[in-house]
A and B are shown apart, each in its own frame.
Chain A
Amino acid sequence: MKLKIALFGIAKEIVGSSVLDLDTPDQQSVAGLIDQLRAHYPALRELTSFAVAVNSDYATDDYQLQERDEVALIPPVSGG
């Protein structure tokens, strides 16, 4: 399936775009997506952490992604 992934902050700089169109296996979990992204973009491994958000909520590692999901990478937040 094709996922559209929104990128922010340092993740946007690492990938070089604010949106990433990614081909992933049809049965892809959040953990699998993180592995796939770290393989494509090794600089993501150097971050303190990064989370995946699905439909504006933090997603657990075992969540099975759907093509219609609104997916975003969430590098370490620093608001306030």
Chain B
Amino acid sequence: MQIELTDQPIDVAAVLASVQDDGAGAVNTFIGTVRNQSTGRRVVRLDYEAYDSMALKQMRRVAEQAQEKWPMLRQIAVTHRKGRLEIGDVAVVVAVSTPHRADSFAACQYIIDTIKEVVPIWKKEEYEDGSVWVAAHP
């Protein structure tokens, strides 16, 4: 299990390599990237802020929950970026390996979906004419 939070560009190939496992017939990866628009506004860049110690603890817990739900999981890696990101940058990578593909899809989706719900990381969208903390207000 490899859990990381970094202010440097994520090396996707290195994350993938970390879940390589001779007992796995499937590797599934989710890569979250910065897109150029949000609710119709043109996004210039994103700023991610994290509560580092809690974010790492919660990401690890999500991975442990996935391991309990899918005991056949061989390897799990989660890397989340923080700081300033430009359009196209990789914000998060989740990679898992399992013996068969169906479990790898399910576990990977569970991990990214749960991370988005519980991990204390905040995204501020910067527009040409202002900025907004995403999801802060109804």
CB within 8 Å of B: which residues of A? 6, 8-10, 12-13, 46-48, 53, 56-58, 72, 74-80
A27 to B117, CA, bound (A): 30
A8 touches B122 (CB 8 A): yes
Q: Identify A53's interface contact among B54, B91, B117, CB under 8 A.
A: B54
| Contacting residue for A48 out of B53, B119, B137, CB 8 A | B137
Q: A78, B121: Cβ atoms under 8 Å?
A: yes
A10-B136, A57-B57, A77-B135 are known; give 6 further A-B pairs, CB within 8 A.
A72-B120, A75-B122, A78-B122, A79-B55, A80-B92, A80-B121
Q: Map CB proximity to A onto B105-138 as digits: 1 under 8 Å, 0 otherwise.
A: 0000000100111111111100000000111111
Asked whether A79 and B136 contact (CB < 8 A) given A8-B122, A10-B122, the answer is no
For the complex, would chain B's binding face be called helix, strand, loop or mixed by DSSP majority? mixed
Minimum CB–CB distance for A56 against chain B, Å: 4
Would you call B74 an interface residue if the criterion is a C-beta within 8 Å of the partner chain's C-beta atoms?
A: no
Q: Which 5 A-B pairs rank lowest in CB-CB distance, beginning with the nearest? A: A79-B121, A9-B122, A78-B134, A56-B54, A80-B116
**Can you name the residue of chain B whose Cβ is closest to the Cβ of A51?**
B120
Residue of A whose beta carbon sits closest to that of B59: A79
| Distance, CA A76 to CA B137, complexed state (A) | 8
- The answer to the question of B80 belonging to the interface, with a C-beta cut-off of 8 Å to chain A, is yes
How distant is the Cα of A10 from the Cα of B133 in the complex, in angstroms? 6
Query: Which residue of B is nearest A76, CB measured?
Result: B135
